[in-house]
């Protein structure tokens, strides 16, 4: 069992902590979305449901129940999936900040600095910049790639007690959606600055659904923000929104909300929180419609009868759960990973690609990212099979 599988299983077994709304603290919520995760280990399936709630009193969208703090620490402290980030995202973020802070700023501190790309770009523009990152792998990558020494550790009261330094600007980029307590996190972040806080999060107002993996709703994200819920979070932390930006995206980019906050007055009370629940319901309703439209389009591609599925990963788990294959018999699942051969997935045996040698079966390519590569391989090695691509267009998503 590899390290990532252990983490998935740990996550599934700890999703039992019911929480109140992280903004208004109330328990009045409704189910807005749900997603099933599944991981097969030695023919044993570990399945768990992620439920996304809408607070009926303020409209915050959040995962409920949530994983334990111990699980989150294990996941992020040793998370091994550290990938290179394009510097153009950091450039766009700094361009936004320079445009909305006319008096300028001299120093910044990046909380959740990942591989240090943002800090390096800021330094190249003459700013005094540093950062903190929880992942040891990401800190090592920053050192290897840029010669940059990021601080390694977890942001919180213990860290702040020893920090002592303040900055013109504190940035929290793609961090807030991973936290359990956004108001507390923002309140703590304000102790590092007398001026501005910059937040960037995925934009659920423009949530996309273009493959069955339902990738917008990520395993790691506990919170899903709109401009309204960011405004409420800021007000509860004693901050005011200076500027929002929802930059247009090209295909393959994650839509984001950028938000510049400024310290102003005292934190507002729960009674002053604005209710955006109707807007949140409309957002998730539109998302469900996108999902239904794509699911029906995929269903029309699949002939009745028997099929072989190529791919034994998470996408196939979603395919089997989606209802797309209702009334269709799955004869076998084919995968090139030798460690999976002989195991079963949803009761169906996993076989090597060689099992297609004398077959004329209909083969569903059950992958999004690798669809085109698998299709080429099938045409070259097993031209007699009827290979079906589920997606007309495949985008290689880039994350800031």
Q: How far is residue 330's CA from residue 320's CA, in Å, rounded to a whole number?
A: 10
Residue 193 reports pLDDT greater than 80: yes
Which pLDDT tens digit goes with each residue over 309-334?
999 988 898 898 888 999 999 999 99
> What's the chain's average pLDDT?
89
The CATH T-level fold of domain 302-389 is Rossmann fold (3.40.50)
Q: How far is CA 158 from CA 69, 93, 152, 161, 201, in A?
A: 16, 29, 13, 5, 25
Question: Which residues fall within 8 angstroms of residue 49, CB to CB, at 6 or more apart?
Answer: 15, 34, 35, 36, 37
Q: What is the pTM of this model?
A: 0.86
pLDDT: is 127 or 266 the higher one?
127
The CA dihedral of 257, 262, 265, 270, to the nearest 10 degrees, is: 10
Residue 42 reports pLDDT greater than 60: no
Q: Bridge partners of 41?
A: 44
Q: How far is residue 43's CA from residue 61's CA, in Å, rounded to a whole number?
A: 35
Which pLDDT tens digit goes with each residue over 45-99?
666 788 999 999 999 999 999 887 777 766 665 544 566 678 889 999 999 999 9
Q: Where do the structural domains in the chain lie, given as residue ranges?
A: 302-389
Q: What is the pLDDT of residue 67?
A: 81
Q: What is the pLDDT of residue 85?
A: 74
Which pLDDT tens digit goes with each residue over 132-185?
998 888 999 999 999 999 999 989 999 999 988 999 999 999 999 999 999 999
Q: Average the pLDDT over 239-254 and give the result.
A: 87
| Percent of the chain topping pLDDT 70 | 88
Which ranges of 218-329 does DSSP label H, i.e. alpha helix?
227-236, 277-301, 314-321
Run of H or E including 224: strand 223-224
Residue 196 reports pLDDT greater than 60: yes
Q: What is the pLDDT of residue 323?
A: 85
Specify whether the CB–CB gap between 269 and 325 falls below 8 A.
no
């Amino acid at each position: 069992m590899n390290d990532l599988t252990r983490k998935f299983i740990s996550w599934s077994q700890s999703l039992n902590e019911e929480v109140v709304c992280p903004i208004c603290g109330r328990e009045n919520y409704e189910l807005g979305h749900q997603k099933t995760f599944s991981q097969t280990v030695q023919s044993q399936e570990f399945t768990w449901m992620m439920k996304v709630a809408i607070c009926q009193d303020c409209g915050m969208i959040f995962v409920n129940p949530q994983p334990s703090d111990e699980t989150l620490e294990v996941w992020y402290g040793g998370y091994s999936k550290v990938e290179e980030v394009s510097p153009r995202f950091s450039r766009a973020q700094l361009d936004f900040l320079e445009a909305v802070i006319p008096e300028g700023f001299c120093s910044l501190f990046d909380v959740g600095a990942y591989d240090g790309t943002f800090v390096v770009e800021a330094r190249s523009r003459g700013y005094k910049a540093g950062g903190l990152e929880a992942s040891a792998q990401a800190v090592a990558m920053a050192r290897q790639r840029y010669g940059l020494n990021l601080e390694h550790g977890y942001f919180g009261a213990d860290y702040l007690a020893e920090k002592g330094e303040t900055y013109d600007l504190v940035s929290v980029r793609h961090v807030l959606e991973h936290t359990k307590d956004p108001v507390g996190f923002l309140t703590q972040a304000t102790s590092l600055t007398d001026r501005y806080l910059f937040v960037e999060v995925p934009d659920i107002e423009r949530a996309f659904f273009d493959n069955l993996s339902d990738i917008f709703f990520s395993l790691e994200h506990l919170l899903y923000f709109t401009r309204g819920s960011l405004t409420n979070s800021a007000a509860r932390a004693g901050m005011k929104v200076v500027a929002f930006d929802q930059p247009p995206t090209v295909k393959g980019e994650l839509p984001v909300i950028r938000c510049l906050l400024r310290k102003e007055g005292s934190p507002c009370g729960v009674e002053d929180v604005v209710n955006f629940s109707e807007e949140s319901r409309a957002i998730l309703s539109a998302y469900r419609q996108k999902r239904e439209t794509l699911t029906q389009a995929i269903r029309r591609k699949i002939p009745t009868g028997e099929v072989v599925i190529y791919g034994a990963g998470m996408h196939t788990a979603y395919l089997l759960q989606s209802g797309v294959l209702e009334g269709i018999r799955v004869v076998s699942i084919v995968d090139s990973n030798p460690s999976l051969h002989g195991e079963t997935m949803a009761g169906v045996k996993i076989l090597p690609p060689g099992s297609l040698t004398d077959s004329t079966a209909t083969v569903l390519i059950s992958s999004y990212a690798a669809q085109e590569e698998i299709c080429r391989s099938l045409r070259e090695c097993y031209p007699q099979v009827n290979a079906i691509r589920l997606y007309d267009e495949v985008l290689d998503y880039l994350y800031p």
